[in-house]
Amino acid sequence: MANQEERPELSLAGSVRGMRRLLLVHHTPSPALHAMFTAVVEGATDPELEGVTLVRRAALAATASDVLEADGYLLGTPANIGYMSGALKHFFDTIYYPCLDSTRDRPFGFYVHGNEGTEGAERAIASIAKALGWEQVAAPVVAMGKPDLAACKELGGVVAATVMS
């Protein structure tokens, strides 16, 4: 699997030289979230998963074009006061209407880390993604305290493998 930080040359279909695109949108302000992010990237870029390019974007930098060009999505956020980060909410606010009809049925997965309740963040992400018509293809990885990095790696791999098929 290829790793992509920059915007490569795209075909009209949104793929890079025949490869599918997996967009990872994240807000990673803490060491625990950085560890989760790294594990998700490791899973999504497993060498056995050929034909998928991982594109990583900070939530405040991701655009509707990024979403429209992708074939699937991974989302990562802290749970701040029981809700997703303002950065991820801003991402959803920015892309919602431009992507509403064009990204239906695309696969996604997400991870959340919180020090208090994460239920509001989980519910909000699932609800917005459902409204966009995205298909959740893996259980979310939710951590309070020390994250399960093996589960994060599996999340990245499952979503990448789904994008391949």
Which homologous superfamily is 2-7+14-164 in? Flavodoxin domain (3.40.50.360)
Q: Could you give the 3-state DSSP secondary structure of residue 124?
A: helix
Half-sphere CA count of 49, side-chain side, radius 13 A = 27
Digit-coded pLDDT (tens) for 73-111: 999 999 988 899 999 999 999 999 999 999 999 999 999
CA distance 165 to 40: 19
The residues spanned by each domain of the chain are 2-7+14-164
The pLDDT assigned to 116 comes to 84
CA distance 2 to 144: 31
For the chain, which residues score pLDDT lower than 70?
Answer: 1-17
CA distance 78 to 82: 9
SS (H, E, C) 75-96: EEEEEECCEECHHHHHHHHHHH
97 by Cβ neighbours in 10 Å (0-12 / 13-18 / 19+) ranks as exposed
Return the C-alpha torsion angle 109, 140, 130, 132, nearest 10.
-30
